[in-house]
Structures are given as structure tokens and as C-alpha cells.
Amino acid sequence: MPNLISTKLGPDIVSDYIAKEVALGHMAGPFTWEETHLVCRGHFRTVPVGLVEKDLARATFRMIQHFLKEDEFGVSVNSQIDSDDFPM
């Protein structure tokens, strides 16, 4: 799934965020499609990332992951999770 158009506002912000998360061990990768299929043992779903303005005066942004974004089939990551399995 492609990233949200807002990532064009600061592609370095997205790259830096992901690199920091990988360095901290919060994320793994980067992986090729083939490697991802092996790690996930088959099909996997991704979510697009985007940027939202954090501070207008400083022109700073934060990265978001859009779990509600539907693909071409009308399916999102959140739509495949049964909320009854995760009571809050």
C-alpha cells in the first residue's frame, strides 16, 4: 500500500523516524518482499504512513500509521481485528 501524500512534505522525517525505531529495536528491517514473506510465513498486510503537522510555528511534523486506510478491496488492518478480542 503506498504511503499517504503527506510524506512528500518531509521524506527525510519518515526515513529518520524508521531508522531510529530500527536502531532502538522497536522495528525490524528493512526487508525485501521475499524476506518479508519468509518472516511473516506468507501473506502480510501493510499500512500507509503519513505526516501530520505537530507545531505550525516550527514547521515540525510527526509520523502516523493509518490503520483505517482501506485498500482497493475496501479492507483495512483495523477492519480485520475483532474488537471483542481486545477489550479496553
pLDDT tens for each residue of 21-71: 999 999 888 889 899 989 888 888 888 999 998 887 887 888 899 999 998
Domain positions in the chain: 5-82
pTM: 0.67
Q: What is the DSSP string of the chain?
A: -PPPGGGGG-HHHHHHHHHHHHHTTSS-----HHHHHHHHTS------EEEEEEETTTTEEEEEE-TT---TTS--TGGGS-GGGS--
More confident residue, 49 or 87: 49
Q: What is the pLDDT of residues 43-53, one digit of tens each?
A: 888 889 999 98
Say yes or no to pLDDT of 1 above 70: no
